[in-house]
Amino acid sequence: MFEHLYDEAEQTNVNFIGCISENARYDFSIIYTNHFFGKPLVVCMQTGRSAVIGTEDLNHVDYIQKMFHITDRKVGEDLAVLLRSRIPAVGVSDQY
């Protein structure tokens, strides 16, 4: 038996991004929603791995690498730069 926590429908914007490094290709979707305190859901379309990522998370390349199983530090840094250009800043006061 499950305790019902929420059931919401929302119109969202989705941004699809494809990029390539010397070693791999990456296809991501960024789902902009209000559900996660304004933080978007980033999904790797190839692996199905996903993470709710805010701008503060993009300062932690090791977190990005872990979430998307990226072993190359440079690729993780490049992905963080790419996502910074796509993920809007949400202030702490806006989140809570």
Backbone angles phi, psi at 54, to 5 degrees: -110, 170
User: How much is the pLDDT for 52?
Assistant: 95
Put simply, whether the predicted model's pTM sits higher than 0.85 gets the answer no
**Rounded alpha-carbon distances, angstroms, from residue 19 to 5, 22, 24, 25:** 37, 10, 9, 6
Per-10-residue mean pLDDT of the chain, 96 residues long, equals 89 91 85 88 95 92 94 90 85 46
What pLDDT score does 91 carry? 53
Where exactly are the structural domains of the chain?
Answer: 13-88
Q: How far apart are CA 62 and CA 85, in angstroms?
A: 19
Sequence-distant (6+) residues with CB within 8 A of 69 are 47, 49
pLDDT at position 92 is: 47
